Structure 1
Amino acid sequence: MVFRPRKPTLRRPRGHPGGDGAVRPDRRAVGGAGAAAARAEKAGRPPKWSKRRLIDGIRWRVRVSSPWRDVPARYGPWQTVYGLFRRWRRDGTWAQILAGSQTRADAAGLITWEVNVDSTIMRAHKHAAGAMKKEICRPSRRLE
């Protein structure tokens, strides 16, 4: 085994106000595109299912109105589909999507904002309202 010395690196002490412990001054990004790109990378495992497929699963479930456990496997595990739906419902993403689509449709003239009032009256039988019944029942005492 051949011993190869490491290249020297310049490290800042902990708590140094200069930043995140950039290793070499010649490769240091000072608030430019490199810093933004470093923040944009997400930590952790990459997603196994695309958002598009999960949203298709949510749309399938709403259209068919079945239980979450019946979502087909092609849309991903039902727990993942439901988790995305629940997370977006709690943080207001679905409300923003609805408001945005309504705004675009209204601007295009595709929505007619009308109010319809149904004034149909359904009457119950007179006995249901507590009316006096004719000769069906005898009074319990004599009227004088």
Structure 2
Amino acid sequence: MIPDRFWLTDAQFAKIAPHLPTDTRDKARVDDRRVISGIVHVLKSGGRWIDAPSEYGPRKTLYNRYVRWAAKGVWVNLFHALAQAGGPPPQLLIDSSAVKAHRSASGG
């Protein structure tokens, strides 16, 4: 594994594994841990799906899994389950008065 890549640890994957869908329609699904790690890597880096490192598997698999699980609500359910388990709150608000910039900060 390359150190600058994101990989879920055993403990992290153990927390989310019970919340993943199991309906695979009699087909063996590729490694969930690898695919989810790839999805998180792409989302964290802000890159395009096509630029995902090959260590995570086929880029189309990453994209398809992300989109299909989003349509099914898997991500929302997973985030709510993790939030109820003592993780970060499901929604964070930032007060705009805490982030100020000088009026000349917008120009060059």
TM-score tier, shorter chain, comes to 0.5 to 0.7
| Deviation of the 1:115 alpha carbon | 5.6
Per-residue Cα deviation, 1:13-45 (whole angstroms, up to 9, x for no partner) = xxxxxxxxxxxxxxxxxxxxxxxxxxx99534x
Aligned residues: 79
Give the secondary structure class of the aligned counterpart of 2:42: helix
> 1:105 is paired with a residue of what secondary structure?
coil
Percent identical residues: 24
Q: Does 1:61 align with 2:47?
A: no
* RMSD between aligned residues: 3.1
1:78 alignment counterpart:
59
TM-score, length basis structure 1: 0.45
4+ residue runs over 6 A deviation: none
In structure 2, the CA distance between the partners of 1:116 and 1:70, relative to structure 1 (3 Å rule), is closer
Distance 2:92 2:59 in 1: 38
Structure 2: how far apart are the matches of 1:122 and 1:56? 39
In structure 1, stretches of 5+ residues that fail to align are 1-39, 124-144
The equivalent of 2:26 in structure 1 is 43
TM-score for both structures, normalised by structure 2 = 0.58
Alpha carbons of 1:121 and 1:80: their partners in 2 closer, same or farther (altered >3 Å)? Answer: closer
